[in-house]
Each structure stands twice: as structure tokens, then as C-alpha cells.
Amino acid sequence: SQELEQSPQSLIVQEGKNLTINCTSSKTLYGLYWYKQKYGEGLIFLMMLQKGGEEKSHEKITAKLDEKKQQSSLHITASQPSHAGIYLCGADHSGAGSYQLTFGKGTKLSVIP
Amino acid sequence: ETGVTQTPRHLVMGMTNKKSLKCEQHLGHNAMYWYKQSAKKPLELMFVYSLEERVENNSVPSRFSPECPNSSHLFLHLHTLQPEDSALYLCASSHAGANVLTFGAGSRLTVL
């Protein structure tokens, strides 16, 4: 089974609607990283979460880390076409100084105008 | 402009060809990475260089050969590839020991 599961795999929402993407780890999380990818291009770093209960926001995107559940959620408020893309979570399962990030398969988000 | 530049953006090669992918960063980072992204699979870490020394090599076939001549440049030399090696190859950089990566736009490789 995957070390890092993302759900849903894909999502289609109407512009203006809210949505949530989840990332669940099968191992202890030392850090959780959210990235966004436009199709066929590189990943853009969004946010990093390291402490249980931590919550960060950037514009209309909020990410939370629930350490007990080893889960993180990414919430987008009032979605816009510019939010469309693939959202990937990356997990540090090894601790500080590790170069190994485990990534989920990604959630493909489409926003219909 | 992401700060990490990859060339070429697209590459088509035969199984007997030898080619190289190039990655360049001028962000002052001292760690560089090669990732492979295939359809419906998670990103796979291939190689990591920190301070110009290879620190990770995740059981990658020898037909992929990395080279890091300095902290700003990273190459992936390709030879005798297989069709299943067709994928998007992503280069990334970071400060050593940090997991906040800056990615390039990728090199789309097709092996015929």
C-alpha cells in the first residue's frame, strides 16, 4: 500500500465553490509539504507544516496538519480557474536533515467557470 | 521563472541513443535532485547531490548516470534506455537538509 494516500484522485468544482483535499500518511510525519503542479510542468511549493495542529494560509488556500491522524488537509475557499492543477503532498518520514520526501500521487483539480 | 532551468524541455530518443538532460539553478542552493514522474505514479526520487557529493541513489538502473560538476549544475546522462523510461524528469534544488524544494519545469522524455 501507499505510504502517502491522497483523496480524492480528481475533483471538478464550479468556480466559487469551496473544496478540500486530504493527504493521509501510514507513517509518522516529521513534516508535510504541499505543492501545486500545472500539467506537464514543475511543482510550485505552497506550504510546509511541521507541528501537530499547525495551520497555515496563503491567499485562499489553508492547510492543516492533524498529527494524531497523520493527516493533512488542503482547503480552498471560493475556488477560481487559477486554482486548477495537480496538488501533491510530500511527507518527511525520516526527520531533520533527510533528503527523502515521499510524495502522494496527486489530486487533479478542475475549476469550471 | 522558477529559478531552476531544465533543458531540453522535450526529448525523443531511440533505445540505442545517448543523450543528456541539463539542470541549472542560480538560487544559491547547495543540494540538487533528480525526480522521475510517470503517469499515475508518485514522484520517484532518483538522485540527490548535496555540496556536490551524491547522498542518495534510490536503486536507479545504471543506464541513468548523474553528474554534478558544481553546486549550480546537474546533469542526467542517458544511454540504452527502455520505452518504460519515458516520463517527465524533474530537477529540483534546495538548501542542504531542507525539504522545501524549487523545481524546474521538467524534461519530457520519450523513448521509442
With 70 as the cut, is the pLDDT of residue B2 above it?
Answer: no
Q: Are B50 and A99 inside 8 Å of each other by CB?
A: yes
Q: Are B99 and A98 inside 8 Å of each other by CB?
A: yes
What's the maximum distance between 2 C-alpha atoms anywhere in chain B?
Answer: 37
Distance of residue A85 Cα from the nearest chain B Cα, in angstroms: 14
For residue B40, the model assigns a pLDDT of 82
pLDDT single digits (tens) A38-94: 987 889 999 999 888 899 998 899 999 997 879 999 999 999 999 999 999 999 888
| Rounded CA separation B112/B110 (Å) | 6
* DSSP of B42-78: --EEEEEEETTEEEEE-S--TTEEEEEEETTEEEEEE
Distance of residue B58 Cα from the nearest chain A Cα, in angstroms: 10
